[in-house]
Each structure stands twice: as structure tokens, then as C-alpha cells.
Amino acid sequence: MLAYIKFAELPVLDQDRAVAFYTDKLGLQVVQDAPYQEGWRWIELALPGAQTRLLLTRQREEKDLDAPRLVLVVESVEVRYRQLCDKGVLFTQAPTRAPWKPDDLFAQFRDSEGNGIVISEAWD
């Protein structure tokens, strides 16, 4: 039987810039930072208390993707939206009712590397 997902890959161009974004703006913690390949490190980030981590992998091309690469669950989208705006996070979608579940809100922003990130309230 499978236990849990250890990590999900998140492509980045600049590891230091991505670490600063995810730790300073989103509150993730660096749980591993070790030499890996020439000019690249094995960096895992985690939400406090979560088992699944984010592995910062090398992005091969510089491009923005419309589809979100990561969905983060928050208690209140509106509250977290304001907190992140205060930290300088620029949203591409302000809090909006989710068409797939109209009672829930979601919002979307891009991280320092151009990845689409969604915050949403827990979906059942």
C-alpha cells in the first residue's frame, strides 16, 4: 500500500530567487539544500506539518503556463489573498467563485519563476 507522496517537482529558473519567494512570501521551509548537479542543488521545501514537499527542478525553457502547477489549500482565500498582496505577490486572478463549485473561492498568481499557483479553500 502506498503511504504518501514524498515530493512534487516545481520547475524553476533561479533556485535562490524561488527559495526566497516560497519562504518569504508563502512561509514554506527549506528542509533540504544539498549539492546535486553542476550549478544546481537538490532543494526541497515544505509546508509546516505537511509530509509532501516541493522539489525545485531545473526549468528547461522560459515560458509561462496558463494551467496551474500547484494548488495550495487555505482556510480563507480572501484573507490569504490580502496577506499575499501585502507581501507584494501579484495575482492574475483575484478571489473568484469557482465555476466547478460555486460555493468556493479561488485566486491565482505567478511565482517568481512564472509558474501558475492557485489558492483555494478545501474542496470536498
Instruction: Read off the pLDDT of residues 55-97 as tens digits, 9 standing for 90 and up.
Output: 999 987 766 566 788 989 999 999 999 999 999 999 999 999 9
At residue 100 the predicted structure's pLDDT band, cuts being 50, 70 and 90, is confident
Q: Is 17 part of any domain?
A: yes
CATH of the domain at 60: 3.10.180.10
User: Of 80, 89, 98, whose CA–CA distance to 116 is shortest?
Assistant: 89
Domain ranges, residue 26: 7-121
What pLDDT is attached to residue 124?
59
Q: Is 68 part of any domain?
A: yes
Q: Per-residue pLDDT for 108 more than 90?
A: yes
Coil vs helix vs strand at 59: coil
75 contacts 105 by C-beta, under 8 angstroms: no
Q: Is 1 part of any domain?
A: no
What region, left, alpha or beta, does residue 49 occupy, with left being phi > 0 and alpha being psi -120 to 50 degrees? left
Domain count for the chain, please give it: 1
* pTM assigned to the model: 0.84
What pLDDT is attached to residue 1?
80
User: Of 70, 81, 74, 53, whose CA–CA distance to 118 is shortest?
Assistant: 70
